[in-house]
Amino acid sequence: MDQKPSVASARPGAPVRIHSGMGSLVKVLRMREVLLFAVTLALSLAISRMTPYFLTAGNLKAMLIGMVPTAIIAVGMAIVLVGGGLDLSVGSVMALSGTVAGLLMLKGASIWLALMLTLISGALIGLANGLVITRIRVNPLIATLGMMTIARGIAFVATEGFSVSGLPEGFAYWGQGSVLQVPPMVFVMAALVIAGDLALRKTKVMREVYYVGGNERAALLSGIPVNRVKVTTYMISAVLAAVAGIMLASRLMSGTPTAGIGLELNVIAAAVLGGASLVGGEGSVLGAFLGTVFMTILGNSMILLAVSIYWQGVASGLVLITVVGIDMFVRTRRGEA
């Protein structure tokens, strides 16, 4: 379930009392991971009755592979949101990373050197985001929105708008290879989700992210290096976006500067759906992953049911508004909004 350290209680103001009926509803809504799993299972059962193609091995495998980049980015987004931040640049960083990796390999760099340099470039982008937000005090939405356009622009300039193709065959292993009949990128996703969730829940360093997001002033007074923690969350987010870009490029065997357009909104929706709060201090990587699974199934079901792609965008927007509304409702009933 969502976790929130006791420092968050340092916020001024006493909690409001909730009537028993409303209190029970709020408790259920706070069990976000369990509730989300149940809703996802119910949605899957409903879709399986509406179309016979949903539970086929081919469709399930396609969904699993297709959700990999989003799920990897959702790990970083959950950490940023828990820390009270927001990162709108992840889709562009993913696209830039795929093109950077491709261009480096075409220039003669070995696969591993190209991947390492790509991850370093992602870390530098995250560092830039963090420093602009913590040192110059630019609002996270504006700072990462600016980085979103910068990263995408660099990808277009570097490729002149064309996809980077002709990549070495060995690079296809992560996205097109087979381990237990699924590409290794699926296991990379699973490893990152597990590691991210355990780190955020169990390690002292990552637990500080909850303190910073829950009550930044209290965290600062308790000796936590708030700025360093914030910068670290943005670096983690950007590096994971770079990993997602590498995995996608390996799957497609090309670096595409147009990849990930609008992806940031789906990732935010998935993270918030999984229990992350837009005001910080709450959430988990597992919840964000479950949110990604739900969004993937929802999108896949609309495709199978021949729903217009334009209505799919409408559905994603409605999901985002709904889950944020639920989050604000719960916080209001607790007297925190």
**Domain span holding position 238:** 51-333
Q: How confident is the model at residue 45 (pLDDT cuts 50, 70, 90)?
A: very high
User: Is 148 a residue whose pLDDT tops 80?
Assistant: yes
Q: Is the residue at 16 inside a domain?
A: no
In percent, the amount of the chain with pLDDT more than 70 equals 90
DSSP secondary structure of 277-320? -TTSS---HHHHHHHHHHHHHHHHHHHHTT--HHHHHHHHHHHH
CA distance 212 to 147: 23
Q: Average pLDDT for residues 157-186, to the nearest whole number?
A: 93
Q: Is the residue at 11 inside a domain?
A: no
Q: How many CB atoms sit inside 10 A of residue 274's CB?
A: 29
Choice among 15-24, 27-36, 142-151, 284-293 with the minimum mean pLDDT: 15-24
Q: Which residue has the higher pLDDT, 237 or 22?
A: 237
**Run of H or E including 92:** helix 90-106
Q: Is the residue at 39 inside a domain?
A: no
pTM above 0.85, yes or no: yes
Q: Is the residue at 118 inside a domain?
A: yes
Q: Which residue has the higher pLDDT, 280 or 245?
A: 245
- CATH of residue 237's domain is 1.10.3470
Q: Is the residue at 41 inside a domain?
A: no
Q: Is the residue at 287 inside a domain?
A: yes
Q: Is the residue at 320 inside a domain?
A: yes
What is the total count of domains within the chain? 1
CA-CA-CA-CA torsion sign (5, 7, 11, 15): positive
Q: What is the 8-class DSSP label of residue 150?
A: H
DSSP secondary structure of 9-68? GGSSSPPPP--HHHHHHHHHHH-HHHHHHHHHHHHHHHHHHH-TTTTSHHHHHHHHHHTH
Q: Average pLDDT for residues 309-336, to the nearest whole number?
A: 76
Q: Is the residue at 234 inside a domain?
A: yes
Q: Find all residues with CB under 8 Å of 265, minimum gap 6, and list them.
A: 316, 317, 320
